[in-house]
Amino acid sequence: MEHTNSELKQYIAPGKTVHLIGIGGVSMRSLGPVLMGMGVKVTGSDRDASKSTKELEEQGIKIIIGHHEENVIGADCVIRTSAVHDDNPEIISAHRLGIPVFERAQAWGVIMQGYKDAICVSGTHGKTTVTSMVTHIMMEAQRDPTVMIGGYLPLIQSCHRVGKGDTIILEACEYCDSFLSFYPSLSVILNIEEDHLDYFKDLADIQKSFRKFAQLATDRVLVNGDDPHSLQAVEGLTYTTFGFGENNDIHPANLCPDWQHLDVICGGKFYCHLDLQVMGRHNALNALAAAGAAWMLGVPGEVTSKGLLSFIGAHRRMQFKGKYNGADLYDDFAHHPDELRALIEVVKTLPYKRFVLVFQPYTYTRTVSFFDDFVKELEKADHLVLAEICAARETDTLGISSRHLQEKIPGSVYRETLPEVTEYLCSIAQEGDIILSSGCGDIYKAIDAMLE
């Protein structure tokens, strides 16, 4: 039986006990402290102990490692991440005991109804960066926001923040239509591409989901006017556009060739000047989206300028990790061909002698769906090292491996395990190299192991 957001409201209240399954996950670990701040007693469980579960324990949340039927006893309701399915022992137990089970996105939807401004940032790419940028601006504006981001943000020293203001900022993911449980006052659509094809049928199906998301906005919608897929999705709706084209409501002027210095024009008038600390065309576009959202919410231009000047990037977004044998080591979250293209464009502008790309594909379905596109982008590296596919929520029913990519890209190297990847990288690293790990699985551990 599916339970509705209105049913969940009665459980997100002082004195109630909520159990979170998969509490160490990116979207769940921030939910616990937010609920605690609302007076809710929180318990949680996860398959493995981690830095996240330890931090949550330190904040006073009871954490149980391992999924056991008795974990849910005493809970008024259970909230789960999308990675937890009906065959989980805790879900089975909750159903047997009559404890209602809700989805993580439903909880965030209920929470955001208590805020005047609910900014939800969606898109195939760039969500974490733009959500982080908007957070920088709103912190500079002293809005004291509550925040949920899909990655660590140095400014708030976490992926979440519990504020006391009337603004909430959330990263809104389309996977499994989860963002359709949200109640945004401002919906931001950065771009729409084929992705998550283990859930969506095709691009048209994805666009239908984003259209519904746009229609949820109680105030306004901000859309990438340079992206035809996004414009098709919101056709016939009322929206504001951002982009590089001067036909957009929000666009740049005096844009420098390095993409890091620009004026922002909003509604035909100068709004602010930006000096960015992050690189690349894609980050200039991300900054336009963040500035546009701030303008729509009445933030003064000079505040937006200061907020974005202090932004040095989100965790795992072209993040410098250190040096090994004279080589500079970086890590990035890019796991889609379009993200790889933008990332590689940035790296190619940097003054390195050799570009070593270390890539770990994410999920079997994505690897099969975008196989030719991955080959096209990955072969741009001077030297490519492939780790085995990160299975994540899937099992391999397609017979696909990173070996198949290696066979299509001359000179590339395949290493099955992360220790093997680390050993190989240590053997080739030299002065003048940039070694960049990429993927949203655990490929970063190969770089971390080099430094250790």
Q: Which residues pair with 327 in a beta bridge?
A: 324
Alpha-carbon distances, residue 228 vs 241, 243, 276 (angstroms): 12, 12, 26
What is the β-pairing status of strands 433-438 and 354-359? Answer: parallel
Crossing angle, helix 281-296 and helix 301-309, to 10 degrees? 140
pLDDT tens for 204-224 read 999 999 999 999 999 999 999
SS (H, E, C) 321-367: EEEECCEEEEEECCCCHHHHHHHHHHHHCCCCCEEEEEECCECHHHH
> For residue 408, which phi and psi values (nearest 5 degrees)?
-90, -10
pLDDT of residue 147: 93
Please list the residue range(s) of the chain that carry CATH number 3.40.50.720.
5-104
Q: Cα separation of 215 and 221, whole Å?
A: 8
Burial 5-21 (b: 16+ CB within 10 A, else e): beebeebbeeebebbbb
CATH of domain 319-451: 3.90.190.20
Query: CATH 2.160.10.10: does it fit domain 5-104?
Result: no
Number of residues written out for the chain? 452
Q: Cα separation of 248 and 264, whole Å?
A: 11
What is the β-pairing status of strands 117-122 and 220-224? Answer: unpaired
pLDDT of residue 151: 81
DSSP 8-state code for residue 303? H
Per-residue pLDDT of the chain (452 residues; tens, 9 = 90+): 467 778 899 999 999 999 999 998 877 888 998 899 889 999 999 999 988 899 899 999 999 999 999 999 999 999 998 778 899 999 999 999 999 999 999 999 999 998 999 999 999 989 999 999 999 999 999 999 999 998 889 899 888 888 999 999 999 999 888 899 999 999 999 999 988 888 898 999 999 999 999 999 999 999 999 999 999 999 999 999 999 999 999 999 999 998 999 999 999 999 999 999 988 899 999 999 999 999 999 999 999 999 999 998 877 788 889 999 999 999 998 898 988 998 998 899 888 999 999 999 999 999 999 999 999 999 999 999 999 999 987 888 899 999 999 999 999 999 999 999 999 999 999 999 999 999 988 999 999 999 98
Place of tokens 């609302």: 38
Which long-range contacts (C-beta less than 8 Å, at least 24 apart) are formed by 403-410? 404/371, 405/361, 405/367, 405/371, 405/374, 405/375, 405/378, 408/375, 409/375, 409/378, 409/379, 409/384, 410/379
Query: CATH 3.40.1190.10: does it fit domain 114-309?
Result: yes
What is the C-alpha radius of gyration for the chain, rounded to an integer number of angstroms?
22
Please list the residue range(s) of the chain that carry CATH number 3.40.1190.10.
114-309
Q: Cα separation of 130 and 169, whole Å?
A: 10
Q: The tokens of 71 are what? A: 């974990």
